[in-house]
Chains A and B, each alone.
Chain A
Amino acid sequence: MNAFMNQLPIGLSIGAVLLLIALGLTFTFGQMGVINMAHGEFIMAGAYTAYMLQDWAGRQAVLVALPVAFAVAGLMGLLLERTLIRRFYGRPLDTLLLTWGVSLVLQQVARDLFGAPNVQVKAPTWLVGGGEWLGIRMPYARMFIFVLAMLSVAAIWFYLSRTKQGRRMQAVMQNRELASCSGIATSRVDQRTFFIGSGLAGVAGVALTLIGPVGPALGTYYIVDAFLVVVAGGLGRLQGAVIAAFVLGLLNSYVEFWSDASLAKVVVFAVIIGFLQLRPQGLFVLRSRKLT
């Protein structure tokens, strides 16, 4: 029973990381129809930001890195959107292949800058170890990641529903033409979405330094699962992404726990295919009167 419960924080923290990654994907996909394979490299960029900041901030690097990584990854995303992706709106499959090319280049850049071997980021001392709660071992690092993801979700929710910019973003997502007709500068909204989405990937990268080493291929391990979260949760839906991310995270860690690790992904895949039989458009569907 204890071993079973101890798996809980692991599943939750994996779900939290998936959530941070999937948030950016679901909004860029839902709003602009862009499938950004280079999103994984923004995670990597965030993780390396924390690594670089270690020289300066020492063990508190992770905390300092959170806003910096958000900005670094966000700017990378913005740059990508402005230079390349902008030309591909309306061709989702082509953006997938294009951004894969970008991700190849970025990975190689990381390999040249930081070397191919993995590097470690030292966690702050107060995040080392863990406590016990109701007999469950709770590693502080994993709890921190969970809280971080929850705070991010709250911030995104606030942005989307309580600020002018966020509401514009929702409008563009629901019906781009109508939003444009109403005087919303859709291309500026697109840029903002890309910046925020990519920035969250950077934050996810910093979070990942707490539970594992950092390497140039860091993003590739998470990008496929994050896309599955988007598919299962429904495009551009916050609630969907939250639920799907945690279900997938927990499912992954529990199947690994019960059988072997190699079966987990197969089971998750089968569950998703089965789930799509019931809800082909994901958990929550963005309702819109837009003509498709």
Chain B
Amino acid sequence: MSLLNRAVTADTTLLAPAVQPPHADNSGVDGPLPPEPRRAAPTLEIHTGPQAGAAVGAVKVSARDVNVFYGDKQAIFDVSLDIPDRAVTAFIGPSGCGKSTFLRTMNRMNDTIPSARTTGSITMDGEDVNARDVDPVVLRARVGMVFQKPNPFPKTIYENVAYGPRIHGLARGKSELDGIVEASLRKAGLWNEVADRLDQPGTSLSGGQQQRLVIARAISVSPEVILMDEPSSALDPIATARIEELIDELRGQYCIVIVTHSMSQAARVSQKTAFFHLGRVVEAGPTEDIFTNPRDKRTQDYITGRFG
């Protein structure tokens, strides 16, 4: 299996950018792959879906040999994956294959489960997120998360968005906080719908609006990475389309990772796709390649609907 992983890792390097950020050589990371091939990799522009021609950023998050255990049960096996900045990376795969678990290792949400244990390294901008001196609370402010079911706080719309900046002390004074709330709601494409009823409970919104409110809440603390765990699986097609549009708009500013069960959604919104199966990454690469020219038989079977 490690051979395959090597291959996958090598594959992902195709996404390496033309301009390397200073820390992207991963010199401190003991990944299975020496950094040379990545530097040598050619610049690649991905032509997928409506975002054809979009420039993909540097590697933002880099995972090497990540294993996750829940008690005695291993959920993730030796996953190595690079996630580019300013792009959408989709995780696809059948239920229970570890996509969500892997997603949750990226902001250490698994820390909240007592039996969960993670090995291997996950670096964000070259920093190990699992390092002892990394505060998961600070990490989670930098790595926002949107969940499958819209989960606004049972507070007002305003409070939902203002909560994050408030606990992190991002705003000095009420007017600054108002500004953050408005900017976040605007970015989430919700401002026009809720501007006149910010004092109403967030739970009074429709499902799609709630999910955008939750995205606004994630944006409000200026994260660098936004993790989305099946963000539209509980929504109707129209609300789903709005969320997808929103993801596309946010792509220019954030590193977005989305777990989805919808192959068409992955094809529509993402520039990079990783296919998970039984806790391993079977194949990862530019979305177009995965969908048009999968290398692995299992990937092909899955995307053509033969299993999963």
A binds B: no
